[in-house]
Amino acid sequence: AVVLAKPAATVSAEPVAAAPAAAAPAVAAPEVSNKYKDFETNWSPPAPSPTMVPEEVVKQLLTALKNNDRPSPNAGLSTVLAFSSASNPITQREPAFFFGMMQNSQYSLLLGAFETFTILSTEDLSNTGASMGGKTVAVEVSILANTQTMIDAGVDFAFMDSIAGKEQSSVNLKWQFTKDATTECWLSDTLFFVPVAKKGKTMEELTDVKTSKETARFTGTPASVKLKAQALKEPALKVQPSQLAQTALSMNLLKPTSPLLKTGMVGNLGFDPAGFAKSADLLLQYREAELKHARLAMLAVVGWIVSETVHTPLANLFGANSLLQEGADSVAEKVPTVLNGGLESIQPTFWVAFSLFAGVAEAWRMLTIAENPMNFTPGAIGFDPLGLFDKEDAVGKRAMQLKELNNGRLAMVAVAYFSLFEKFSDSAIINVISFLPKTGNILEEVAEDVIGSLML
């Protein structure tokens, strides 16, 4: 077993009393030797080698992860990629995706946050359904860390085995390796957390599948299952980081540590002068928020114009009061807004219903992301009734995503402009849009005809 341990603290001896002389000086006990500390001090990122047995590979990779930014940022994660087999789903995506997946999930515990590890056992899977026709093993490892650190890393309580009377907990991992037929090096297939209730179980007992080789391979979390399904469905599209981000960096408009410099995210213009996106995790959250606001803004632009065009005629037709606010000509023409006023005239039941709907939708989305934090796609809520997005290939999907983002960004600017224009001009925005009818019940006759035909 390989164990990482803290060096023993220096222990002081009790002073010996002597009258009238002062107490004797404390005598330090000899420091306990820590072989792993010596190993880690002189360690450097390794490369796959046929002389390394699986247990040694685990030792090297955990040490690499524990020293992730040595000698350079994400050097540890890069080492894990170098030790990954062709069947490992992470090899079919951009490295930045894998880095973000590890940094923004419970696997972030491995990136320098744990204290010790112990290799427990090695299981031969060569003659089981988990094998892909070659030599395959699964190494079980126990990781020890501060309990609060585990919670902060997002480790599920089902995996945490707390130690009574101590502020530490342990988690078990299964790390599966296959021996490459060409290089004869042991390469990583998958790594996953083992529930406390299943510690010490064999791979067959963990998977409980005996018929299919593919389904018998335990690929860990739902996120990794989804990732593998996506990788099998279509090849990954190679995307280069934004050149605009590099330009922004050269102009000191972007911090060197910004994730915008490495990501291939759609619509990356390298614009983050305030440095809000400090990590890949925050970047995903900000893109999620941007898409929500973009979609609301696109709806708002359409709703704004339609309201000012047909609301008053429809209100007159049904004998109701118009909710539009009066402009400079004392004509009800401007939509109710914070700047225009009039929000207080809207029924409270609408605000209650709207707040309830928005709250439920937002809670559902947050819970969905929490279930799959390492591999969620910002804005992907599953709404595509016509199946337009699924029909496209990888290039077409990125093009559609970019169109939505660009239109949404334009809509956010437009809504801000509408609001300021109506506040300071005291006139409806439709009065300056040449192809739209002006205010003053122009559409009343049309509305009467349409509604009248619907009532027949």
- Tens of pLDDT, residues 26-67: 444 444 444 445 555 666 778 889 999 999 999 989 988 988
Is residue 22 pLDDT above 80, yes or no? no
Q: 213-241, pLDDT tens digit by residue?
A: 333 333 334 443 444 444 444 444 556 66
- Dihedral (CA of 330, 333, 338, 341) sign: positive
Beta partners for residue 187, in sequence order: 178
| Angle, CA of 87, 174 and 122, to the nearest 5° | 100
**Which is more confidently placed, 281 or 419?**
419
153-184 confidence digits (pLDDT tens): 888 888 888 765 678 888 999 988 888 888 89
Interval 250-262: pLDDT, tens: 888 888 888 888 7
pLDDT at 297 over 90: yes
pLDDT for the residue numbered 400: 92
Q: Out of 129-138, 316-325, 351-360, pick the least confident.
A: 129-138
> What percent of the chain has pLDDT above 90?
15
| Structure tokens that stand for 340 in this block | 């225009």
Model confidence at 395: pLDDT above 80: yes
Q: Is the pLDDT of residue 273 over 60?
A: yes
* pLDDT given for residue 163 in this prediction: 67
DSSP secondary structure letters along 176-226: EEEE-TTT--EEEEEEEEE-GGGTT--HHHHH---S-HHHHS---SHHHHH
Peptide bond preceding 15: is omega within 30 degrees of 0, i.e. cis? no
pLDDT value of position 158:
83
